[in-house]
């Protein structure tokens, strides 16, 4: 295995693992369990890099695992964005109704 692919695989694992550190720190700061948006972005970055590594290794189990996980991570970001858009719209409507 080339050293560059080993470095790519390790970088993906570091990004993927860092999401748990981000989640833990944010939860400790808030005093409750939360999943910050950075968790989902790190999941995507780590997942994409690990998927590339799995494809290089031609490992179907690894490919299926990382590929299916990416669907979940992207969907969570879509749901977060949709909720934020609704909140902004409601806030705009409240401001407009007060005028």
- pLDDT tens-place values along the chain, 99 residues long: 689 999 999 999 999 899 999 999 999 999 999 999 999 999 999 999 999 999 999 999 999 999 999 999 999 999 999 999 999 999 998 888 887
Query: Number of C-alpha atoms within 13 angstroms, CB side, residue 13?
Result: 9
- What counts of helices (H) and strands (E) characterise the chain? 3, 0
State pTM to two decimals.
0.82
96 token code pair = 């407009």
Closest CA to 20 of 36, 6, 2: 36
Helices 3-30 and 37-57 cross at an angle (nearest 10°) of 160
Strands (DSSP E) along the chain, which ranges? none
Give pLDDT, residue 57.
94
- Give CA separation, 36 vs 21, 23, 76, in Å: 11, 6, 11
């Amino acid at each position: 295995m080339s050293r560059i692919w080993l470095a790519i695989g390790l970088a993906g694992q570091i990004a993927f693992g860092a999401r748990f550190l981000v989640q833990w720190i944010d939860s400790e700061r808030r005093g409750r369990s939360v999943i910050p948006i950075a968790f989902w972005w790190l999941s995507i970055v780590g997942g994409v890099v690990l998927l590339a590594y799995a494809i290089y290794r031609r490992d179907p189990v690894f490919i299926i695992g990382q590929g299916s996980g990416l669907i979940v991570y992207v969907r969570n970001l879509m749901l977060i964005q949709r909720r934020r858009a609704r909140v902004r719209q409601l806030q705009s409507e409240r401001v407009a109704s007060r005028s």
